[in-house]
Amino acid sequence: MSPNQRVLVLGSSFAGLNAALDLRRRLRDEVEVVVLDPRPRFTFIPSLVWLPFGLRRPDQVTFDLGSTYARKGVRFVNEAAAGIDLDERIVHTDGGRRFDYDRLVVATGPRLAFEKIPGLGPDDGHTQSVCNLDHAVRAGEAWQRFLADPGPVVVGTAQGGSCFGASYEFALNLQHQLARRGLADVAPVTFVTAEPFLGHFGLGGIADSESRVRRMFDRRGIEGIANAAIREVRADEMELESGRVLPFRYSMIVPPFTGVDVVRSVEGLANPMGFLPIDHRFRHPDHPEVYGAGVAVAISPPATTQVPTGVPKTGQMSETMGKTVAVNIASDLQGGRHRDLPVEKMSAVCMLDGGDDGIVFRATDVLSTRRRRRGFVTSGPHGHWVKLAFERFYLGTRRRGVTLL
């Protein structure tokens, strides 16, 4: 018997992958699960901070999506969504196909908005990125050129950005590599961030995260500049809104994020930044057949900051959203209890590697400052080993389509 209902998932990173696999597990054969993604392979994005330094190869941090989904009975279409018709409940792909849906999951991830800052980015600018696999590979090519002619380094997250962990990890790993090569004195590292203080992470800080980050930076000789907004990047220097100019031979800056074009272009679907508004079940408030998960959803910062900062949506948070979406769609289509999960009640877990040490934190009730400041933070060499172990565990289980562990 052919399926008479279809759930269509747009995107297959942390949110989309886990949503699709959990949907397949929960739904009976009469519901078809289809995933659209222009990328044929899943990328474990937390490992991309290691690629530029030759510590990982692309094949070590990716796996084939088609075979994983086929193993679990999910239909994978290696094409991007090019248009969404909310009235007809149809998605058009860039390959000319069209898919109707009973439920739609928007898990597209972000658009990297390099154009918001003149000179930013690896394509038309002067900075590197580790936000996707292609950028990380190119950052490695730039790193090799840098080693032949080293000098000052600038790393950080731009105003409007929300992925702070990656820039901290990159700065710490880069300085570790410089120290190993005896280049620390000729290549000083400066860290610029929109956060109001180091260790803020877009959440207001977790326990004593500020002092732990500061001690780690001091020990490694990294200068941290908080409340930094980047005015312009030129070929060999970065100008901040404060007027300070930072020379560099190598720079990696995480850009601002917006929603992707296919979501931004649909009237009534996204907020002005292109992110999907959601309720406590991760449904769109005006289109209850549309769900969202991961970086694609709209989350307001817990407090206003001097320089605009976004709320991080870690891989763990994205996975939690995806699994919650699966519960609620299964309840919609086949009956059962729905799961309400207000965003402010979510937990955030993050593992920041520093080359030979690291920081691990867990924050509960991420948008509640009072509870968050009592979160758990630990740092030291075990932080490095925890992330290595998690990388192996995650890639091993998800490659086989296992999400329950």
Residue pair 321/282 in contact by the 8 Å Cβ criterion: yes
240 forms beta bridges with: 230
Residue pair 312/332 in contact by the 8 Å Cβ criterion: no
In whole angstroms, what is the distance from residue 255 CA to residue 237 CA? 17
In whole angstroms, what is the distance from residue 336 CA to residue 100 CA? 24
Residue pair 175/220 in contact by the 8 Å Cβ criterion: yes
Secondary structure class of 202 (helix, strand, coil): coil
Number of H helices, E strands in the chain: 9, 22
Residues taking part in catalysis: 163, 350
Residue type, 235: A
DSSP 173: H
Report which of 228, 119, 246 is spatially closest to residue 188, judged by C-alpha positions: 246
Residue type, 206: I
In whole angstroms, what is the distance from residue 70 CA to residue 65 CA? 8
Considering just the CA atoms, what is the radius of gyration of the chain in Å?
A: 21
Q: How far is CA 216 from the centre of its chain?
A: 24
